[in-house]
Chains A and B, each alone.
Chain A
Amino acid sequence: SQKIEQNSEALNIQEGKTATLTCNYTNYSPAYLQWYRQDPGRGPVFLLLIRENEKEKRKERLKVTFDTTLKQSLFHITASQPADSATYLCALGTTGYSTLTFGKGTMLLVSP
């Protein structure tokens, strides 16, 4: 069956360091992958989309890589800040009607 795995344990890092979150998937051939940020009790907020034919995408302090051979995406936040503390979700989509399949998310805690 299709499976999306994200680090189940919270990631604790110090302010100013680079946070790296992992998303692995099996039995899936996504056309694209998205990363979302979710704060407690709130809906997910879209951050970045990367397509299957793209290796890397950047937006300000964010960087996403997508390796369809390894079936893995890495999400990096450089110069992390306490305000970056949140749960980060990866979501896979296929062509067609574009419904998303989400991972469970990884909680990131950035300490001052």
Chain B
Amino acid sequence: DAGVTQSPTHLIKTRGQQVTLRCSPKSGHDTVSWYQQALGQGPQFIFQYYEEEERQRGNFPDRFSGHQFPNYSSELNVNALLLGDSALYLCASSRDGGYTFGSGTRLTVV
């Protein structure tokens, strides 16, 4: 049974560009959450998707947007990238509250 898979694993982008990260949840999980983890920090909640709708959002600007598809997979989009957006982006899927995290996408903005 595959866990949470994220792609790509690493990405380098230039300031001002846009990026899309992808997540396939664990089988049977219907809720996807995205977290940003800067170096030396704990993960910070970006938003959560359930039934293709954004259900809850953390303290992140509108440059961060997402989508959930009917098969529960999800995308995270970040527009107008800033140097400060460099981080490990984690996707976590859950059902009834139990979380499984993916290995993350390491985004570097130069």
Contacts and interface: CB of A to CB of B under 8 A. Distances in A.
Interface of A: 4, 34, 36, 41-46, 49, 89, 91, 93, 97-105
Interface string B5-26: 0000000000000000000000
Interface residues of B, number: 27
Contact of B56 (A44, A99, A101, A104): A99
Given A97-B56, A98-B97, A42 B42 contact: no
A4 B90 CA distance: 20
Contact of A93 (B97, B100, B102): B97
6 contacts: A43-B101, A89-B42, A93-B97, A97-B55, A98-B94, A102-B35
Contact of A44 (B40, B43, B45, B106): B43
B58 A43 contact: no
B45 A45 contact: no
Given A41-B106, A43-B101, A99 B45 contact: yes
Contact of B45 (A41, A43, A100, A104): A100
A103 B45 contact: no
B101 A44 contact: yes
B42 A104 contact: yes
Nearest to A45: B101
Nearest to A44: B101
Nearest to A105: B42
B3 to A, nearest CB: 9
B99 A100 contact: yes
Given A43-B102, A43-B104, A102 B42 contact: yes
